[in-house]
Structure 1
Amino acid sequence: MVKKIITFLILATLVSCSSSKPTIATTKKAAAVQRPRVATTKKPAYSKPIGKNYPSTNNTTEVIQSTSKTVVTTDLVNNYILQFKDIAMGNMQKYGIPASIILAQGILESGAGKGDLAIDANNHFGIKCHNDWLGESVRHDDDSAQECFRKYTEASESYRDHALFLVGKKRYASLFTYEKDDYKAWAKGLRACGYATDPNYPDKLISYIERYNLHQYDCQVTGRNYKPFEKSVATKSSTPISTSNTSSNDLSLYEVQKGDTLYSISKKFNVLVDDLKQKNNLSDNALSVGQKLKVK
């Protein structure tokens, strides 16, 4: 019994004396939580568009009054000519109508392609329906309200119909007795045959032909040499614009000289014939030597 007690005490002593290091709980270091990567881009620096430097041109503005009132520029008219000159020359070869007259009428009647009829109906010559027209039509105010005008699917059809219209109508037969390239005779003849009611219609056509050198296309068809109108008239004048033919007190007045016409004066001062007539309350083109005209 004593041995058991001694053994128990020894064991108890050993247990109490045995030293053990406190247990340290070790954990793995938590994985670092990474923030999501945000893609950042710099806002591109704004660069102002670089404009093209176009050559300066004398791009004047004028109003064309035909079946509608249209404001056009010189560049617009030149672009119109480039677009339709080949068709005009083709019609001259086929039908005998001067290309210059075709283009001048197209410019005037369509407002260089920007008039109401040209845009709405591809009608570039102001041709009305008449009894023999079986195609589409549009209504437009002209001499009377809501008159019937021919409508085409494209502008080239209007050019072809214009040629057929002149060739096919007896009242225009006298036009084809003129020389193909006599644009002045054709311009006056169109008015005389009743194509337009405007008494200034011939002057307007001639003005476009000579300002834009449309006669060159007649010469390309006939094979004749062409001399630009602007250069042909730029000769030294024996009566320059000075105090001898303008008022010494008012440079806006011009004194009519022998041989002057409204058209020649309009070219000299770069104004339209219609503007000259309006400024001076003229009802016709008659002038008298010594007459003073407002030109500015």
Structure 2
Amino acid sequence: MIKRIGYVLLVALLISSCGAKKRRNTQRNGAPVVVDNGRPVKKHKNEMPTVGEDGLYPMPEDTGRFERFPISDTQEYIETFAEIAQYEMRAFGIPASITLAQGILESGSGRGELTLKTNNHFGIKCHTGWEGEFDFHDDDAKGECFRKYNHPMYSFRDHSLFLTSRSRYAFLFDYKPNDYKKWAHGLRQAGYATDRQYPQKLIALIERYDLDRYDREVVRNAPIEIAQVDPPKQSLTTHTVSKGETLYAISRKYDVPVDEIKQMNNLSDNIISIGQVLQIRRGR
């Protein structure tokens, strides 16, 4: 009788351990979603929306021309990705020159550590709601969550979706699609980068490498039919300031510009106090 009980317990233990292994494997595979605590958890594999049924332009056929790695210099980077930048301009109205200049600057011409391990050419972080793959990289803070793509083309498409689906960038599309100077200053104004010299750096790259020739080609050869992307729903939340927090850190947490937080809370400077409750409007 004792042997029989022991056998039953052993079988139950084996079944339980197999189930635990399956759960661990399921959790390890797939892609993440960023939850309220800011840490990604595995959920399911994400496929970038690229087909016409979603109202978006399909991606061009991959013949390997976007994967010339390692890229030796900036000129080769331009030659590699100019076509996809023009493709995205025709589909979404973002100047190809701006896309290329941002890619050069953010990815180190495709040779930066983050880009080499994630195919992330634009330094786009996970942000709340991201359900694609990810990796961690030191940026403004240690071990920040960055989006990861299985192909460089998807990084360029996600860059287009990122700009067209967030209301704070909407005013950029009132500019002419070949007015790279206004776009460069507008990106800084909208909070894409905190570097005060960001517009000047983009403009310098565009003019050094004559990147606006790609804009002129698109405008000259075909009308731009901008894909319609539904803007994210705006949600209003509150944030209680904790010890050591700054307006900049809070703006990065919620993916909103510092100036917008100041405007919403009638702040004349960047001084905040522990326990202060701030109103935050964020897009999802």
TM tier, smaller = 0.5 to 0.7
Work out the CA distance in 2 between the residues paired with 1:75 and 1:213.
19
In structure 2, the partner of 1:261 is none
In structure 1, the partner of 2:73 is 76
The AA in structure 1 aligned to 2:173 is F
In structure 1, the partner of 2:158 is 161
The structure showing larger relative contact order (alpha-carbon pairs under 8 Å, at least 6 residues apart) is 2
Work out the CA distance in 1 between the residues paired with 2:151 and 2:86.
18
Alignment of 1:46-65 (within 5 A): none
- Post-superposition Cα deviations, 1:124-154, rounded to whole Å, max 9, x if no partner, equal 0000000121011111111111111000001
Q: Residue 202 of structure 1: CA displacement?
A: 0.3
Choose which of 207, 219, 223 in structure 2 pairs with 1:222. Answer: 219
Q: Which runs of 5+ in 2 are unaligned?
A: 1-70, 222-284
In structure 2, the partner of 1:150 is 147
Choose which of 111, 124, 129 in structure 1 pairs with 2:126. Answer: 129
The AA in structure 1 aligned to 2:152 is A
In structure 1, the partner of 2:102 is 105
Q: Residue 192 of structure 1: CA displacement?
A: 0.4
In structure 2, the partner of 1:193 is 190
In structure 1, the partner of 2:176 is 179
Q: Residue 75 of structure 1: CA displacement?
A: 6.6
The AA in structure 1 aligned to 2:169 is Y
Aligned length: 151
**What SS is found at the alignment partner of 1:113?**
coil
Work out the CA distance in 2 between the residues paired with 1:146 and 1:96.
33
Choose which of 93, 100, 103 in structure 1 pairs with 2:90. Answer: 93
Work out the CA distance in 2 between the residues paired with 1:144 and 1:179.
36
Q: Which runs of 5+ in 1 are unaligned?
A: 1-73, 225-296
Larger helix proportion of the pair: 2
- Post-superposition Cα deviations, 1:44-77, rounded to whole Å, max 9, x if no partner, equal xxxxxxxxxxxxxxxxxxxxxxxxxxxxxx9710
Work out the CA distance in 1 between the residues paired with 2:114 and 2:204.
22
Give the direction of change, closer, same or farther, for the CA distance of 1:75–1:114 in structure 2 (3 Å limit). closer
Work out the CA distance in 2 between the residues paired with 1:223 and 1:148.
40
In structure 2, the partner of 1:213 is 210
The AA in structure 1 aligned to 2:188 is R
Work out the CA distance in 1 between the residues paired with 2:204 and 2:75.
14
**What SS is found at the alignment partner of 2:73?**
helix
Work out the CA distance in 2 between the residues paired with 1:156 and 1:213.
22
The AA in structure 2 aligned to 1:140 is H
The AA in structure 2 aligned to 1:137 is F
Work out the CA distance in 2 between the residues paired with 1:101 and 1:132.
26
Work out the CA distance in 2 between the residues paired with 1:75 and 1:120.
17
Work out the CA distance in 1 between the residues paired with 2:149 and 2:111.
15
In structure 1, the partner of 2:167 is 170
**What SS is found at the alignment partner of 2:177?**
coil
**What SS is found at the alignment partner of 2:154?**
helix
Work out the CA distance in 2 between the residues paired with 1:138 and 1:174.
31
Work out the CA distance in 2 between the residues paired with 1:187 and 1:106.
13
Work out the CA distance in 1 between the residues paired with 2:158 and 2:125.
11
Aligned-pair identity in percent equals 56
Provide the TM-score with structure 1 as the length reference. Answer: 0.50
Q: Residue 117 of structure 1: CA displacement?
A: 1.2
Work out the CA distance in 2 between the residues paired with 1:86 and 1:132.
30
Q: Residue 222 of structure 1: CA displacement?
A: 0.5
Work out the CA distance in 2 between the residues paired with 1:147 and 1:157.
20
Give the direction of change, closer, same or farther, for the CA distance of 1:212–1:183 in structure 2 (3 Å limit). same
1:204 maps to 2:201: yes
The AA in structure 2 aligned to 1:129 is C
- Post-superposition Cα deviations, 1:71-96, rounded to whole Å, max 9, x if no partner, equal xxx97100000000000000000000
